[in-house]
Structure 1
Amino acid sequence: MLGAIFLIIILLLITQGILSNFQKKHKFFSKKLMNILFFYHLFFWLVYYLYALFNRSDSRSYYERPQNEFLNWFEHFGTSTTFIDFLSYPFINFLGFNYEMMMVFFAWLGYLGFVYAYLFFRENIPVKITVFKRFDLLTLILFFPNMHFWTASLGKGAPIFLGLMLFAYAIKNPKSRIILLILGSLLIYYIRPHVFMFVAVGTVLGYMSGKEKISFGKKLFIYIVLIGGLVLVQDTILGVAGLEGSDDLVEDFGNFSDNRSDSLSESGSGVDMSNYPLPLKLFTFWFRPLFFDAPGILGLITSVENLMYLLLFVKILKKDFITFIKNSNVVVKMSLVVFFLSSFAMTFIMSNLGIIMRQKSMVMYFAFFVIYYYLAQKKYDKILRLKKFKRAKELEVGKIVTI
């Protein structure tokens, strides 16, 4: 544990340099808020560590596998689980990190994901929104407990979240942030190839339909990079479900999803979703567990958070939301497509509430972004209408005085 404490101090110092750099680049950046978030996320590292001591956790396997003396570092290189082993290998075998230190390091990667999430939201949405009468929406989103719990340990959760938020932040200015864009894309692809497909498709569709006037060169750059990337890695993406070389992708995916769903439902918190209609499958993925089906104490805590997700979702159930989406920009449409494609695919293979709680943490921030942007747009439009009305009144008073 002493090693973990020493590493926390080192990472805290490194974090201060990173935050100071962002504070210079972005006037809106709050170093104080990000420091509070650092210690908040660190608390969840401790919570997850204590949880892992008394419960089965994949983090143990992620720590033990890279120590296999029959495999060298680059023999661990690959997609999915093996890539996490590849990332962990030098820290465990070259730097001598113990289990607690690896948990701290990956929790820090998850924290960086929240820093980039903050940048992603604030750079695109300067308008502040209050929800539930008193809570700043962005602060609420950044401090949702479930998001921190699943990104505070050794495993896929932290680096995939970092990759997604790096990508989301970089895509606003892809040419000037090309290194971050490539790094985010590589993390997403090597950890979850199918999620990279959703992100690439969402981005391309966003650039095709966004309301901004984007130069042909910028669009061509995005299309070549993402569509070309999908073509190059299509076999790996299909290989996740064992569908490479398939003659009937639809039927074979159906068989895969049935088998996957059956195997997951055998776990302790299984829920049979096979006969659910699609809307109920999506509801289950987004908002369950709720209090009536919460698996244990963790499930009860998650239920409170899921209820807040549901209340936020209700805020967009308005007639003007469709118009908003039609007229929205690239980033909003990208976020919506990524969220829906990911949700749609996962509802067919997820039938375990524990797995659902973990998996949806990857993509919920894209939904929050759309909700936040919609509410901010409504507030901004209201401000403009009030200014226009006030200006009209001033002109009318001026005419009366002149007469």
Structure 2
Amino acid sequence: MIGAFILLIILYALTQPLLKVFKSKYRWFDMDLMQKLFWYHVFFALVYYVTVMNSRSDSVSYFERPQYAYSSWWEAFQTGTLFIEFVGYPFINFFHFSYEMMMLLFSWMGFWGFVYFYIFFKENVKYKHYYEGYDLIMLFMFLPNMHYWTASLGKGSIIFFGMGMATYGLSKLKGRKLALIAGLAIVYYVRPHIFLFMGIAILVGLFTGKQDVPKYQKWLVLIGAAVALTLMYNTIISFVGLDSDNLVGSFDQFSSTRAYELSSANSGIDISNYPLIFKLFTFWYRPLFIDSPGFTGIVVSIENVFYLLLSYKLWEKGFLKFFKVSSSLVKMSAVLFIGTSLALGETLSNMGIIVRQKSMVMYYLLFIIITYLDYKKGLVASKKKNAADLQLAASPQN
């Protein structure tokens, strides 16, 4: 425990100059907010750690296996679970990190995912937006369920870090290609199927978005994605247990089997016979208060109600018009959110796993919502400006 306390001091000290680099680049970057976010995330790392003390989690095996399961570090360099053990191997075996120190280290990775998503939101949203008097982007950054599942030794923290980095890179592609590539590489090694969805989403966004992206950048990304997906196709398909010769049939069989297995676990719900829209609703907005009693269930339910209230905006008459003229980032977010939701919504039927898995993609839904609100504010501002210009033109002095 002393080692974890010392590591916390070191990580906090390392965080300060890195945050200052972002502050020097972006005047709107809120150092004070990021400091609070750091300690908020550490709090959830502590909450997760206390929870693990009472019920064993995968994080324990991620810490134990690198100590005996491999003859060398590179033996663990594979996709999925083994990649988490690959990342942890040198810290555990060379630097002798304790379990608490590894939990803190991976939590720190999760924190940087929030920093990247914060920048992504801020540089693509023009106006201030409030919910019950609170800045909406600030509320996004402090959603408790997002922090809980990204604050421990495991896939959740590192894939969130990778997705945040990739999204940050895509936001300003011209100057952040390395961030995009590095983020996508992390996503691929942790969850290859999510990498597939991200690759498709990026391509759709670039070629359908309304912003002026140079053609050479579009084709560069297209060629790179085509090569990457060709090389990684078999790995991605085999990772999720599908048959490359019969993708539709094998996915249907896989989803039915997976749903049955998970529904028989604790907190399982049988959604195999749900209509598709109900499966998606379950993935996005459940548990609600009647599903999950207890303090944790209430906290998660409050967050899901928040998602529901914001999602109501997407049913407004002007949303489709906005979406048609939206940027590549909005369309990328939509494809990634819907594609991942369809895949996971078909296979997950355990509440705990649903709550954990959806934390990967909910920021993309929130980005779509807030950019729509931004679009609406822009229309109002434009009308006011036009009215003011007409009034000025019609004044006697002119």
Give aligned-pair identity as a percent: 46
1:266, distance to aligned residue in structure 2 (A): 1.2
Q: Provide the C-alpha distance between the structure 1 equivalents of 2:293 and 2:162, rounded to a whole number of angstroms.
A: 29
What's 1:284 paired with? Answer: 282
Pairing 1:310-321 to 2, within 5 Å after superposition: 310-321=308-319
What's 1:266 paired with? Answer: 264
1:181, distance to aligned residue in structure 2 (A): 1.2
Q: Provide the C-alpha distance between the structure 1 equivalents of 2:284 and 2:18, rounded to a whole number of angstroms.
A: 33
Q: Provide the C-alpha distance between the structure 2 equivalents of 1:70 and 1:384, rounded to a whole number of angstroms.
A: 62
Mapped pair 1:332 → 2:330: yes
Pairing 1:64-83 to 2, within 5 Å after superposition: 64-68=64-68, 70-83=70-83
Deviation track 1:242-265 (CA, whole Å, cap 9, x = no partner) reads: 224x32210111001111111111
Q: Is the 8 A contact 1:289 1:353 kept in 2?
A: yes
**Structure 2: runs of 5 or more not aligned:** none
What's 2:130 paired with? Answer: 130
Q: Is the 8 A contact 1:117 1:165 kept in 2?
A: yes
**Structure 1: runs of 5 or more not aligned:** none
State the number of aligned residues: 398
Q: Provide the C-alpha distance between the structure 1 equivalents of 2:69 and 2:317, rounded to a whole number of angstroms.
A: 61
Q: Provide the C-alpha distance between the structure 2 equivalents of 1:22 and 1:375, rounded to a whole number of angstroms.
A: 26
Q: Provide the C-alpha distance between the structure 2 equivalents of 1:93 and 1:126, rounded to a whole number of angstroms.
A: 47
What's 1:227 paired with? Answer: 226
1:70, distance to aligned residue in structure 2 (A): 4.6
Deviation track 1:364-393 (CA, whole Å, cap 9, x = no partner) reads: 001010001000111121112112112212
- 2:287 partner letter: P
Deviation track 1:116-137 (CA, whole Å, cap 9, x = no partner) reads: 01011111113110123x1211
Q: Is the 8 A contact 2:70 2:76 kept in 1?
A: no
- 2:13 partner letter: L
Q: Provide the C-alpha distance between the structure 1 equivalents of 2:231 and 2:70, rounded to a whole number of angstroms.
A: 31
What's 1:376 paired with? Answer: 374
Deviation track 1:50-80 (CA, whole Å, cap 9, x = no partner) reads: 1110122111111111111653211111011
Q: Is the 8 A contact 1:212 1:329 kept in 2?
A: yes
Q: Provide the C-alpha distance between the structure 2 equivalents of 1:220 and 1:298, rounded to a whole number of angstroms.
A: 47
Deviation track 1:204-225 (CA, whole Å, cap 9, x = no partner) reads: 0011111122222111111011
Mapped pair 1:362 → 2:360: yes
Where 2:194 maps in the other structure, the secondary structure is helix
Alignment TM-score, normalising by the size of structure 1: 0.97
Q: Is the 8 A contact 2:62 2:84 kept in 1?
A: yes
Q: Provide the C-alpha distance between the structure 2 equivalents of 1:231 and 1:174, rounded to a whole number of angstroms.
A: 23
Q: Provide the C-alpha distance between the structure 1 equivalents of 2:70 and 2:62, rounded to a whole number of angstroms.
A: 16
Q: Is the 8 A contact 1:200 1:227 kept in 2?
A: no
Alignment TM-score, normalising by the size of structure 2: 0.98
96 and 295 in structure 1: CA distance in 2 versus 1, 3 angstrom threshold? farther
Pairing 1:142-181 to 2, within 5 Å after superposition: 142-181=141-180
Q: Provide the C-alpha distance between the structure 2 equivalents of 1:117 and 1:328, rounded to a whole number of angstroms.
A: 19
- 1:191 partner letter: V
What's 1:40 paired with? Answer: 40
Which stretches of structure 1, 4 residues or longer, exceed 3 Å deviation after superposition? none
